[in-house]
Amino acid sequence: MTTRLQSLPKIELHLHIEGTLEPEMMFALSKKNNIPLPYKSIEEVKEAYNFHNLQSFLDLYYAGASVLVGREDFFSLTWAYLLKCKENNVVHTEIFFDPQTHTQRGVNLEDVIGGISDAMKKADEELGISSYLIACILRHLSQEEGIETLKSLIPYKDKIIAIGLDSSEVGHPPSKFKTLFSLAKQEGFLLVAHAGEEGDSGYIWEALELGVSRIDHGVRCTEDAKLVQYLKQKHIPLTVCPLSNLKLKVFKHPSEHNLVELLRQGLCVTINSDDPSYFGGYMNDNFRLIVENFDLSEEEMVDLSVNAIKASFLPQNKKEKLMQQVQNFKNVTKS
Ligand code: ADE
Ligand code: ZN
């Protein structure tokens, strides 16, 4: 199964580029940019990654992101992630970034978007990996601040496919951003939002009211049978992140995760890595956790990639090409 898992073409739809910052790069950039970190060594960073909830993770995630300053830093970060995609046989990825995490520190938006986009272009040309960029609004900040950020993103419309919503969920429901999401839609952006990670199923209903195409996480949908039926009937994808959910104690044990239950009920669930440097694994590790704990069949493993192709923002012709790659994988006789 491990070699089959490696060769399955994978599509990632929930990945925060700031969450791919490995401790080694964090230390190197801290030194280069003269930005102090609250850790003495790489080992100390790794020891600190012992989270008890979303906020305890976010505090370290924002502290880590403070070492990213210049265009070249955003390029290096993104290029390193795209090399991991190659290793994990991820053939298409839709990458989140948090503009406010950087602009609030005085970093130029042009450098953030420019550095990330340069790496994405290089990966397309040299690694054959396609990608899109999604700008997430920080929900712990005000809607007004979010709208200012949205306005600053308009000149980069050609580089950004969608607007998302992330950061501290509880206390910051999707309805707080109704005007912002309506403006983003008018500007032609697609919409996604984190909901139902720590927030209850009501947050998912609210995200749907904003007009999102996908729900990021959404695992708390199982608290509401009507919602599960709705997600199924409307084919609303959930971008689920198993290792993240375990590290942030959304589920206590891998066997308690509800991804496979939702898959077997016919929902469009997908597997993703969220913040792989902080949660202990990239795409293959997230797939492996589920495959091994639930005795997933090869057909079900393939369904997860098919779901992700359908849920992606790729045009129909590109989706068909990826479907063909998955079909080719299925046609290879098992050794
Ligand atoms: N930002 C980065 N990772 C996140 C997550 N899992 N939930 C909310 N905001 C995030
Ligand atoms: Zn996330």
Is the pTM higher than 0.95? The answer reads: yes
Predicted local distance difference test score (pLDDT) of residue 2: 84
| Cα 217 from Cα 199, distance rounded (Å) | 10
Residue given tokens 């695992």 in the structure block: 219
For 30-50, the pLDDT digits (tens) are: 999 999 999 999 999 999 999
Ligand nearest to the CA of 169: 1
The question of whether 197 is a catalytic residue gets the answer: yes
Predicted local distance difference test score (pLDDT) of residue 99: 98
Q: Which residues contact 331 (CB under 8 A, 6 or more apart)?
A: none
Ranges under pLDDT 50 in the chain: none
Kind of pairing between the strands at 190-195 and 214-217: parallel
Q: Which residues contact 181 (CB under 8 A, 6 or more apart)?
A: 163, 165, 174, 191, 193, 210, 211, 212
Inter-residue contact 26 to 37 (CB < 8 Å): yes
Which residue, by CA, sits nearest to atom 10 of ligand 1? Answer: 167
Predicted local distance difference test score (pLDDT) of residue 333: 62
For 80-110, the pLDDT digits (tens) are: 999 999 999 999 999 999 999 999 999 999 9
| Cα 198 from Cα 201, distance rounded (Å) | 9
Q: What is the mean pLDDT of the chain?
A: 97
| C-alpha distance from residue 161 to each of 156, 164, 185, 240, 307 (Å) | 10, 10, 11, 20, 19
Enumerate residues lining ligand 1, CB below 6 A.
16, 19, 54, 61, 166-167, 194, 197, 244, 274-275
Nearest atom of ligand 1 to the alpha carbon of 248: 6
